[in-house]
């Protein structure tokens, strides 16, 4: 039994099974707070702790699921292609709003952390929080942050965006699915986009566009933004 608990098969089965179970729980209870990703993460941690399984052992199986994330992200290009003509017509406002989102996201995260008394290293780690994990971690590493901390913050940002993002936008009077999608993708990256896809195809398309454009701008501009802030 112990050998199975430390096997790659167990890690894959555990991850898929708990995520599937978390989805069923959310559908049954109809609660946005019970985000499947958040619930699955908590349950996996509890299982690993109870079984005395190290993260390194778990990752030997988890890496296969991580590999599948790459083609899953590429697959987002299909709905984007179906909306390509409409996207072309709005290219300038889309780029402008994503540029604003990139700057505001990086500056606000850095300054809030800084004025709350965090170290410079932590403040840098938080600045690329709205980009997807690989981009955010590379920016953090390049600027002298803590990539592992950045990864945690990125995941939390995405989960919070998926839970509260659409409600906040509606309360703010943002009714356009295009604006909602772009905002959700820019602020909550892949997790927010996954949630948007479940709600509405058009919402998901523009959320994936926001994810891509904001991620690219974050990777290119965050080092310059931090330099402008005196880092």
| pLDDT of 125 higher than 80 | yes
Tell me the per-residue pLDDT of 92-118, one tens digit each, with 9 for 90 and over.
888 998 899 889 888 998 999 888 888
| pLDDT of 203 higher than 70 | yes
Average pLDDT over residues 126-133: 84
Average pLDDT over residues 80-103: 84
Q: What is the pLDDT of residue 16?
A: 86
Q: How far is CA 31 from CA 22, 129, 162, 163, 178, in A?
A: 11, 25, 12, 9, 24
| pLDDT of 166 higher than 60 | yes
| pLDDT of 5 higher than 70 | no
**CB-count burial class (<10 Å; 0-12, 13-18, 19+) for 173:** exposed
| DSSP label of 117 | T
| pLDDT of 151 higher than 70 | yes
Ranked by mean pLDDT, the top range of 1-5, 159-163, 197-201 is: 159-163
What global pTM score does this model have?
A: 0.76
Using an 8 Å Cβ cutoff, are 43 and 20 in contact? no
Q: What is the pLDDT of residue 21?
A: 86
| pLDDT of 2 higher than 70 | no
Query: Minimum mean pLDDT among 57-61, 97-101, 110-114, 128-132: which range?
Result: 57-61
Using an 8 Å Cβ cutoff, are 161 and 148 in contact? no
Q: What is the pLDDT of residue 48?
A: 85
Domain boundaries, the chain: 2-74, 82-228
Q: What is the pLDDT of residue 50?
A: 83
Mean per-residue pLDDT over the chain, rounded: 83
Q: Higher pLDDT residue, 8 or 208? A: 208
| pLDDT of 1 higher than 60 | no
Q: What is the pLDDT of residue 155?
A: 84
Using an 8 Å Cβ cutoff, are 225 and 126 in contact? no
Q: What is the pLDDT of residue 4?
A: 66
Average pLDDT over residues 170-183: 86
């Amino acid at each position: 039994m112990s050998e199975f608990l430390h096997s790659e098969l167990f890690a894959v089965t555990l991850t898929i099974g708990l995520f599937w179970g978390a989805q069923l729980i959310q559908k049954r209870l109809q609660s946005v707070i019970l985000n499947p990703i958040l619930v699955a993460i908590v349950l996996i941690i509890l299982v690993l702790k109870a079984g005395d399984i190290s993260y390194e052992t778990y990752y030997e199986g988890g890496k296969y699921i991580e590999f599948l994330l790459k083609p899953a992200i590429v697959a987002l290009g299909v709905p984007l292609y179906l909306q390509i003509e409409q996207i072309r017509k709005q290219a300038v406002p889309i780029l402008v709003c994503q540029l604003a989102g990139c700057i505001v996201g990086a500056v606000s995260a850095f300054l809030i952390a800084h004025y709350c008394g965090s170290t410079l290293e932590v403040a840098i780690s938080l600045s690329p929080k709205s980009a997807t994990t690989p981009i955010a971690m590379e920016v953090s590493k390049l600027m002298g942050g803590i990539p592992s901390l950045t990864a945690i913050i990125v995941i939390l940002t995405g989960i919070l965006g998926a839970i509260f993002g659409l409600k906040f936008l509606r309360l703010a009077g943002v009714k356009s699915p295009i604006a909602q999608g772009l905002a959700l993708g820019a602020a909550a990256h892949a997790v927010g986009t996954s949630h948007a896809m479940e709600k509405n195809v058009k919402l998901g398309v523009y959320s994936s566009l926001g994810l891509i454009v904001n991620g690219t701008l974050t990777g290119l501009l965050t080092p310059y933004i931090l330099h402008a802030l005196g880092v």
